[in-house]
Amino acid sequence: MAALFESLLALPWPVTAILAALFFVATLILLYPDRAYGTRSRSDIPLAQENKPLIGAMAAMAQGIDFRLERLLEQVRRQGEGKPYRMTLYNPMFGPMDMIVISDVQDVETVLRDPYTFVKGGLLTSLLTDFLGQGIFTSDGERWHAQRKTASHVFNVKNFRNFNGDFLHEVGYLIKHLEAARDAGAVVDLQDLLLRCTLDSFGRLAMGSDFGCITQPGSVKEGRYALPTVEFMEAFDYVNGTVAVRAMQPFWQLQERLNGTTNKIKACQKIMSEFADKVITDKRRKMEKGETIGEDGKSTDGRHADMLDYFMRTTNFDGGVPDDHELRDVCMNLIIAGRDTTAQTLTWVFYMLSSHPEVEAKCREEINRVFGKDGQPTYEKIKELKYLTATFNETLRLHANVPFNTPTCTKQTTLAGTGTTVYPGDIIQYSPWVMGRLQSIWGPDAEEFRPERWLDDGGSVKKENTFKWPVFKAGPRICLGMNMATQEAVTFMAQILRTYRLELVNEDDPSKWGKYDVDPAKRQGRYSSALTLGLKGTVDFKVHLVQ
């Protein structure tokens, strides 16, 4: 051994350095032959085959980012539905990460019932902080609890009746744009129109301010009906799409600096902050003039109080008064909660209806029966649309708007369904998108689009186990606005379907797919890279009048 060591020292130093590096790497591979550097060895949970020595599954995740959900579904089925498995990662920015992928309903329930053991965690916060700050989607503990309590003031039955007028106002503009597109014989991007509607309606609900997105005049160019761009909307969508893919990019901070993304994000932040600052400043002036909110939820000027009103009139989690930066975070979180989720799911509704005419016919029959020929879509009438509600729920089952959740464990615990031990620092990943397609949860027809599964024998909408269907989350962090989102969606569906039939076109464009094939059945990744499940590219429809 001594002679070998002396021989190595006699070699030129570059050769010695190379040999030493190779020895070091070989040693690490021996220590981590099947998983990422720094992660623990476990025999009780299988590793997915994507794990490689030292780097774990990072390369596989980055390569499959454009069809990440189908890839995850394939993994779950390969490992066995409901059975946990591990994905280990080594990210130079965050170090080693041990991820346990779960799909058992009871395991998911264990996680969602305890938001203090399973938290958002530092990883998620660091990825999203320049977009959502310390708002309700990125915060934990008392900060989260205080924000949730304040937001809850808006979501009551009395306000739901008021929401109906706002929703009809927005969908009225959308109907006019569909009419204009039909008259011109042009195609129209339905997702763009819906995102404009929900941004305007939720802007009023959350901040008492209208973005003016859907009220813009439309025009036809090269056979396409479109509305002018809105600066805030473009900025918001750019940052949303950028931060969503960071976890898949080992050197995202460096990449963003080199390719100009960092400067673009700063410019977008400036646009969003200026809008939020203006809204906050205007509200502070009203408060200084003595405006108050009564027990009926109305301000002294007669308008209904919005969410920001409540946040500005309450103390934050540590007893202090929220500053403008905190209020800006509130605005961004409320917008992504109320705007993207409903509009994108509604787009998926019409996307699914385009290939299921029998479902569309049943929806239209129910609308005509409930409303009559010229009946008004009142709050009470909207509640009678059971089949439309079932269609919305079924769409969410197959196209969950928040497709991934990745909480971090803070103390050792055991998952109730499979008995899996989870250690502090472990990341749990569950996917409502994947769960919606598992036969072990939904039966042999899990991948079929069948709204009837949501109706009981009397035609009423079933109340499913939210841990089986965690599209609005479940437990203490269940979405406060889930009933409002359903009400808004059904209102839009009814008003569009009673007047128009939408024909989906231009789906053979490869740029709209993460993985394109000439055979439509083999295409994957029709969704965009964002925190929520929007469709990639334009979603083009021809508009036809219902006969």
**pLDDT tens digit sequence for 419-431:** 999 999 999 999 9
**Would 114 be classed as within a structural domain?**
no
**Bigger pLDDT: 292 vs 262:** 262
Helix axes 357-371, 341-353, angle to 10 degrees: 110
| Beta strands 413-414; 421-422: pairing state | antiparallel
**Residue 392 to residue 171: CA distance in whole angstroms:** 17
Q: Judge residue 396's burial from the number of C-beta atoms within 10 Å of its C-beta, 0-12 exposed, 13-18 middle, 19 or more buried.
A: buried
Spatial strand order in the sheet of 540-545: 219-221, 224-226, 187-189, 540-545, 500-504
Strand order in the sheet with 85-91: 85-91, 95-101, 427-429, 408-409, 118-119
- Sort 77 into a burial class: Cβ within 10 Å, 0-12 / 13-18 / 19+: middle
Q: Is pLDDT at 289 greater than 70 in this prediction?
A: yes
What pLDDT does 491 receive? 96
Residue 524's pLDDT band (cuts 50, 70, 90): very high
The DSSP 8-state label assigned to residue 386 in this structure reads: H
DSSP 457: T
Query: CA-CA distance, 341 to 320, in Å (whole number)?
Result: 31
- Confidence check: pLDDT of 386 > 90: yes
DSSP three-state, residue 369: helix
Is the pLDDT confidence value at 4 over 60? no
pLDDT for res 3: 65
Least confident of 114-128, 377-391, 404-418: 114-128
Angle, vertex CA 531, rays to CA 527 and CA 535, nearest 5: 20
Contact status, residue 436 vs residue 403, Cβ threshold 8 Å: no
Asked if pLDDT for residue 535 goes beyond 60, the answer is yes
- Identify the residue whose tokens are 């059945």: 521
Residue with tokens 């918001």: 236
- Confirm if 162 and 378 have CB atoms less than 8 A apart: no
How would residue 154 be classed by pLDDT, with cut points 50, 70 and 90?
confident
Confidence (pLDDT) at 530: 82
Q: Is 267 within the bounds of a domain? A: yes
Residue 535 pairs in a beta bridge with 527
Alpha carbon distance 229, 531 (integer Å): 22
Give all strands (DSSP E) within 306-451, no chain letters. Answer: 408-409, 413-414, 421-422, 427-429
Count of structural domains within the chain: 1
Percentage of the chain with pLDDT > 90? 56
Looking at mean pLDDT, say which of 170-184, 325-339, 478-492 comes out highest.
170-184
Of the listed ranges 110-119, 155-164, 250-259, 377-386, the one predicted with least confidence: 155-164
Is 7 within the bounds of a domain? no
Question: Considering only CA atoms, which of 518, 390, 394, 383 is closest in space to residue 446?
Answer: 394
CA distances from 64 to 15, 60, 515 (A): 38, 6, 9
pLDDT at residue 163 in the model? 80
Write down the pLDDT at residue 31. Answer: 79
202 pLDDT higher than 90: no
Torsion of CA 384, 390, 395, 397, to 10 degrees: 130
Alpha helices in 402-449 (DSSP H): 432-435, 439-442
114 φ/ψ sector (left φ>0, alpha ψ -120 to 50, else beta): beta
Measured between alpha carbons, how far is 459 from 266 in angstroms, rounded to an integer? Answer: 51
Nearest 5°: phi and psi at 273? Answer: -65, -40
Tokens found for residue 28: 């690490």
Asked whether residue 292 carries a pLDDT value surpassing 70, the answer given is: no
Specify if 190 maps to a domain. yes
Residues in the chain: 547
Q: What is the mean pLDDT of residues 26-50?
A: 88
Q: In which domain, by residue range, is 390 found?
A: 141-545
**Any domain includes 67:** no
Cβ pair 426, 98 in contact under 8 A: yes
Q: Is 479 labelled a binding residue?
A: yes
Going by pLDDT thresholds of 50, 70 and 90, the confidence category of residue 302 is low
| Bigger pLDDT: 344 vs 295 | 344
Please report whether residue 17 resides in a domain: no
Tell me if 439 is assigned to some domain: yes
pLDDT one-digit tens code per residue, 323-369: 888 888 888 888 887 788 899 999 999 999 999 999 999 999 999 99
Classified as helix, coil or strand, 542 is strand
Q: Using an 8 Å Cβ cutoff, are 319 and 313 in contact?
A: no
Are 429 and 405 a contacting pair, CB within 8 Å?
yes
Query: How far is the C-alpha of 406 from the C-alpha of 250, rounded, in Å?
Result: 17
> Which range, 138-147, 161-170, 207-216, 512-521, is most confident?
512-521
3-class DSSP state for residue 327?
Answer: helix
Give residue 204's pLDDT: 84
Note the helical H segments in 133-230.
141-151, 157-184, 190-207
The pair of structure tokens assigned to 14 is 């570059």
- 3-state class (DSSP) for residue 45: coil
pTM: 0.91
φ, ψ dihedrals at 102, nearest 5°: -125, 150
- Which of 350 and 210 is assigned the larger pLDDT? 350
Distances (CA, A) of 234 to 195, 483, 508: 11, 28, 26
CATH of the domain at 297: 1.10.630.10
190 pLDDT above the threshold of 90: yes
482-497 and 357-371 helices, crossing angle to 10°: 90
**CA–CA gap between residue 338 and residue 327 (Å, rounded):** 16
Question: Is 229 inside a domain boundary?
Answer: yes
Task: Give the list of residues 6+ apart from residue 522 with CB closer than 8 angstroms, or none.
Answer: none
Alpha helices by DSSP H, 410-523: 432-435, 439-442, 482-497
Q: What is the chain's mean pLDDT, rounded?
A: 89
Going by pLDDT thresholds of 50, 70 and 90, the confidence category of residue 267 is: very high
Would you state the pLDDT for residue 326? 85
Beta carbons of 434 and 69 less than 8 angstroms apart? yes
Sign of the dihedral through C-alpha 222, 224, 229, 234: negative
- Predicted confidence at residue 17, as pLDDT, reads 73
CA dist 81 and 111 (Å) reads 18
For residue 296, name the pLDDT band (cuts at 50, 70, 90): low
Q: Please name the residue that has the structure tokens 């600096």.
A: 257
